[in-house]
């Protein structure tokens, strides 16, 4: 009959072999993620140059005290309406047509540029207004303004 096993000898990896294997794994991970690591370094450099990294580090070290100060400040009566309306504001932001606002903003900027370039010292008569309505750009702008007012009045 065979002898029973009474002692199990575990395979032990020496410290040097373990360090070498870990270093190999880290080198492979660095090689696989080179671009991400370089972008992370650039981000850290930008945060450090702007002083933001120091601020974040200080905030993390004193986070309990900093959060206590923030909560203490927000708890003031002057911020109560803001906190009450904050959920409505978030829902409003979700309903806004950003493309339409961007288009409107661009048109407003063009209009302001044209207004500054033309000057506003001339007087406009009723007949000047009637002649201006023949200009397609002015007519289109007035038509859009009338539709806007009509829609706002509904």
User: Digits of tens for pLDDT over the chain (154 positions)?
Assistant: 678 877 877 878 889 989 999 999 999 999 999 999 999 999 999 999 988 999 989 888 999 998 899 889 988 999 888 889 999 988 988 888 889 899 989 988 988 888 877 766 778 888 888 888 899 998 998 898 899 888 888 8
CB 56 within 8 A of CB 47: yes
CB 47 within 8 A of CB 53: yes
Q: Quote the CA–CA distance of 47 and 53 in Å, as a whole number.
A: 5
State residue 42's pLDDT score.
94
Whole-angstrom CA distances from 117 to 113, 129, 142, 154 are 6, 19, 20, 36
State residue 23's pLDDT score.
95
Q: Is the pTM of this model over 0.75?
A: no
State residue 7's pLDDT score.
81
Core vs surface per residue 65-74: b (16+ CB within 10 A) or e = eeeeeeeeee
């Amino acid at each position: 009959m065979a002898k029973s096993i009474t002692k199990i000898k575990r395979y032990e990896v020496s410290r040097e072999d373990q360090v070498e294997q870990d270093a190999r794994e880290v080198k492979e991970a660095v090689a696989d993620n080179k671009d991400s690591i370089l972008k992370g370094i650039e981000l850290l450099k930008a945060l450090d140059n702007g002083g933001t990294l120091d601020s974040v580090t200080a905030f993390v070290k004193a986070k309990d005290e900093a959060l206590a100060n923030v909560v203490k400040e927000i708890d003031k009566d002057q911020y109560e309406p803001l906190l009450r309306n904050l959920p409505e504001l978030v829902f409003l932001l979700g309903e806004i047509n950003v493309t339409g606002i961007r288009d409107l903003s661009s048109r407003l900027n063009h209009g302001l540029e044209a207004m500054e370039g033309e000057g506003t010292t001339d007087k406009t008569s009723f007949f000047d207004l009637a002649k201006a309505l023949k200009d397609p750009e002015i007519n289109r702008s007035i038509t859009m303004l009338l539709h806007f007012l009509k829609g706002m009045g509904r």
